[in-house]
Chain A
Amino acid sequence: MPDISVIISLLLAGILTDNYVLARTTGICPFLGVSKKFQQALGMGIAVIFVIMCATAATWPIYTYLLVRFNLTYLKTIVFILVIAALVQFVEIVLKKFIPPLYKALGVYLPLITTNCVVLGIAEENIAKGRDFMTSIIASFGVGVGFLVAMIVFAGVRSRMENCPSPKPFKGIPITLVAAAIVALAFGGFKSIGG
């Protein structure tokens, strides 16, 4: 179990200072595509936390106990993406069978994140930074919550923005990106916390 100060700094980095969506610009497709309504954003965010934690719990042992042991570390990317894709399908089937209410709430979002940048990105980062299992799980949780926070904040901004008139060429994606720029600028203020 890592030190409490390590845990806090990891969580702070994932949620605020080094937010995967707004500071590192990963996982932009769901961030822009599924943030029109607050409820959608909430559902997507929770589904991402869930998948990220599962993916880390699966990829870390596979890398450490299989790939490193048999000297196959160069297969990392191929193995990770396949494991994540299979895992999401598996989780979907299990939820459908055993926890129908949860499946109803999250089920539709699960396939959308199979091959999301955030999920593969955090799996690769945990390995690249040589974190141990518990630290990896905590870091993944922080990143997931950071994604959820970014989604919720942006959904709020966007619901206001949709009602505002914008110049014709800016309609749709461009004005959404400009709004995202302002939200990201606001999040940039947290950078000084990390030091």
Chain B
Amino acid sequence: MSSNKKLMILLRGIITENPVLILVLGTCPTLANTTSMFQAVSMGLAATVVLIGSNFVISLLRNIIPDTVRIPCYIVVIAAFVTAVSMLLQAYVTPVYDILGVWLALIVVNCIVLGRAEMFARKNGPLDSALDGLGMGLGFLLALLVMSTIREVLGAGTILSGMTAFGIEAIKIPVIYDLRMPFLVESSGGFLVFGILIAVMAKITEKRGGLKRKSFSCEGCPSAHICHKTSCSEVTELAAEAFDVAVENKEIEIENTEEKEVSENA
């Protein structure tokens, strides 16, 4: 394969198929870990390492893993990498381990990691898969960095906060610090900034003929193999219909029994 194509695999994850801003995968860690730039970079790097490792190993095992039990196998591989990364962080970079907390373990259920295993690693060679992992990881990191910069600068009025353990003091930005909007570093600000960023990306890509934009789909869903449906909305609509039918049946039953009682009384 030419080096040009390899470069394309790498760049695709960063820009045209950015996992967060275009594919809208991994929303939970994105919203929770962008209150400060330090936390965002920590999360991005940890997820990148897991992505590269899991994509590489899953690609190596792609001919060995039986198709029917592939998702549990992927989850075990991913969980192994997450455990390794969190143990390394706890031993060598404890401040990072502390700031990420439970989110480190939750990389296991990050849709991006499982999504890339399902979409890319199981169909491609180990080197390409590792490159894809690197590209997607960097795309995730970049999206987190952009979002956290907006939230930290406008919400807290500082940059580089939370890094006192490394001997770096937070820098207060002179005018913005007095005008800061604290709600931006809370969860509501996360939703707002994320929504606006996706809309801005949609606006930019619209002019270039529009990139393929996906809504919540089954591709990245860890449960897709069990539920055998093409999209969640279909599944839930089916459920709603079943619910309606059940309620109707119940009502008919009740009516019937009432009628019976009335006729018996008569």
A82 contact from B76, B226, B227, B246, Cβ within 8 A? B76
CA distance A40 to B238 in the complex (A): 10
Minimum C-beta distance from A60 to chain B (A): 16
Interface magnitude class on chain B? 35 or more
Minimum C-beta distance from B50 to chain A (A): 12
A170 contact from B79, B186, B199, Cβ within 8 A? B199
Interface magnitude class on chain A? 35 or more
Contacts of A96 in B (CB 8 A): none
Q: Are B191 and A181 in contact (CB under 8 A)?
A: yes
> A81: CB under 8 A from chain B?
yes
Q: Are A85 and B189 in contact (CB under 8 A)?
A: no
Binary contact track B71-89/A, C-beta < 8 Å → 1, others 0: 0100110011011001100
> B44: CB under 8 A from chain A?
no
User: Which residues of chain A in 162-177 are interfacial with respect to chain B, using CB atoms and an 8 Å cutoff?
Assistant: 167-170, 172-177
CA distance A170 to B188 in the complex (A): 17
CA distance A115 to B26 in the complex (A): 13
Residues of A within 8 A of B (CB): 22-29, 32-34, 36-37, 39-40, 43-44, 74-78, 81-82, 85, 89, 101, 104-105, 107-109, 111-117, 120-121, 124-125, 128, 167-170, 172-178, 180-182, 184-185, 188
Having A78-B83, A81-B75, A115-B75, one finds 10 other A-B pairs with CB under 8 Å, namely A40-B237, A76-B105, A104-B242, A107-B239, A169-B203, A172-B215, A175-B199, A176-B195, A181-B189, A181-B192
